Amino acid sequence: MKNILVIGATGQIGSELTLELRKRYGDDHVIAGYIPSAMPKGELKASGPSAIADVTDRQSIEVVARQFKIDTIYNLAALLSVVAESRPAMAWKIGIDGLWNVLEVAREYGCAVFTPSSIGSFGETTPHVKTPQDTIQRPRTMYGVTKVTTELLSDYYYTRYGVDTRAVRFPGIISNVTPPGGGTTDYAVDIYYSAVKGEKFVCPLKPGTYMDMMYMPDALNAAISLMEAAPARLKHRNAFNIAAMSFDPEQIYQEIKKHVPNFEMAYEVDPLKQSIADSWPDSLDDTCAREEWDWKPQYDLESMTVDMLEKLRAKLNK
Ligand code: SER
C-alpha cells in the first residue's frame, strides 16, 4: 500500500490531485501537505489527513515523511510564470531550494518524487512547433530557469542516488475547481468564468498566440500514470512532454461562443504575458510519453468546453 504526501495540496493542481489520489489509494493514505497561509478546507480537509509541509522548511517535510511512512511525494509547490517575474528570489527559494529539501528527504526515506516541469522550461530558441522531447531549453524567465533546474536536479538525484524521480512538462491547465494565479496560461481559465457570468472577456494575449493546454482530468491522470509506470520502460524521466490540445485566444473564444452566442471578447495585450507566451512552444511532441508509459489524453477543446461550462454554471449558480 502506498502512503503519499502531496505538497501544495491546496493549490490549483494539488486540490484536485489529492482527492483523485484518495479515490485511488484510500483516503487515509494521502496526506494533504499545506502551508499555514493556505489551509485545506471543505472536502479536502474532511476526506483525509493533512499536515504542514513547507518546502522551505526541510524539517516539516521530514516530520510528515516519518510520521506517515511516506513512500511517494507529489511536490507541487511553485510560483507561476508571471508572478515569478515579480518575485524571482522567492520563485527560486520555493522551486529550487524547496526541491532540494524534498529530494534530500526522499533520499533519506526512500520516497519516489514527482515535481512537475512545464512548457515554460522552453524558450525563444526552442523549435516552437511540435517541440521535440529532447531539444534546446534556454528559457529567459525565472519560472523557466527554475523548471529547467528542476529537471536537471531531479535527474541528478536519480542517477547519483537512485531516487525515483519522474515528471511531466505540464501545459496550461484548465479546471473549474481552484483557479490558477499568476500564470501566462490563466486566460484560458478566466475566459470560461467570464462567459458563465455573462461578462465581456478582456484577453491579455494577441490572436495567433498558440500554447498547449490540457483539461485537469487529463493532467491528473498523466501525473498518476507516470508514477505508476513500469520503471524498465522509462528511457526519460525528468521531464516528459505531454500534449492534449493547442489553441489561440480566438479559437477558444469561438468554441465558447457556440454555447454562449452573445459572449464578447476584447483584446488588451499585457506585454509581460505576451512576451512570455511568445517564448513558449505552440505545441509539444509527446511521442516519448505515448511510447514509454502509454500517455493518451481524453479531452480536446470541444469536449473540455462542454464540461467546463456545465460545471461552472452549476458552481456559480449555486
Ligand atoms: N500555467 C503555467 C504558467 O502559465 C505554465 O506552466 O505559468
Determine the distance separating the centroid of ligand 1 and the alpha carbon of 69, expressed in angstroms.
Answer: 32
Tell me: pLDDT of 47 over 90: yes
Q: What is the pLDDT of residues 56-113, one digit of tens each?
A: 999 999 999 999 999 999 999 999 999 999 999 999 999 999 999 999 999 999 999 9
Determine the distance separating the centroid of ligand 1 and the alpha carbon of 93, expressed in angstroms.
Answer: 18
From 12, 87, 118, the mutation candidate for ligand 1 (largest count of ligand atoms within 8 A of CB) is 118
| 151 in Cβ contact with 145 (< 8 Å) | no
Does the annotation count 193 as an active-site position?
Answer: no
Tell me: pLDDT of 181 over 90: no
Distance, CA of 150 to CA of 99 (rounded, Å): 7
Stretch 176-204: mean pLDDT: 96
Long-range contacts of 191-198 (CB under 8 A, 24+ apart): 191/249, 191/252, 191/253, 191/256, 191/265, 192/256, 192/305, 192/308, 192/309, 192/312, 193/312, 193/316, 194/263, 195/256, 195/259, 195/260, 195/263, 195/309, 196/260, 196/309, 196/312, 196/313, 196/316, 197/316
Q: Which domains does the chain have, with CATH numbers?
A: 4-171+215-241 (3.40.50.720), 172-213+245-283+300-317 (3.90.25)
pLDDT given for residue 180 in this prediction: 84
Determine the distance separating the centroid of ligand 1 and the alpha carbon of 48, expressed in angstroms.
Answer: 28
From 80, 187, 280, the mutation candidate for ligand 1 (largest count of ligand atoms within 8 A of CB) is 80
Q: What is the pLDDT of residues 204-256, one digit of tens each?
A: 999 999 999 999 999 999 999 999 999 999 999 999 999 999 999 999 999 99
Residue 167's φ and ψ, nearest 5 degrees, are -160, 165
